[in-house]
Structure 1
Amino acid sequence: SYYAHLDAFVRSSGGEEEPDLPGLLDGLRAQAIAEAAVLSLQQGQFVSVEPLA
């Protein structure tokens, strides 16, 4: 939820705990999946998603 993410951010900013929030790699993975879904729809076939580092 929004509150849980905000609470985690505030706690990590204060040094209380490690942030468990989505990062850049999560965003890149989501983008790769979205692009593969569009290609799959356009081509009418399965499109694999290459793994990221």
Structure 2
Amino acid sequence: MARLDNRVALITGAGSGIGRASAIRMASEGAAVMCADLDEDGAQGTAATIAEH
């Protein structure tokens, strides 16, 4: 069981930098992650990276 199983995280600024790293890390710990960013392509890229793993 991962540390963040059954948790939901809404990450603002998930398209790059600390937001992207936080989203990927929380997903790897078991959280369901929603990525939000003014840069829609960046947020979708982060979501795609998470979905690949």
Asked which structure has the greater CA Rg, the reply is: 1
Question: Greater share of strand residues, 1 or 2?
Answer: 2
**TM-score normalised by the chain length of structure 2:** 0.34
RCO greater where, 1 or 2, for CA within 8 Å and sep 6 or more? 2
Q: TM-score, normalised on structure 1?
A: 0.34
> Greater helix percent: which structure?
1
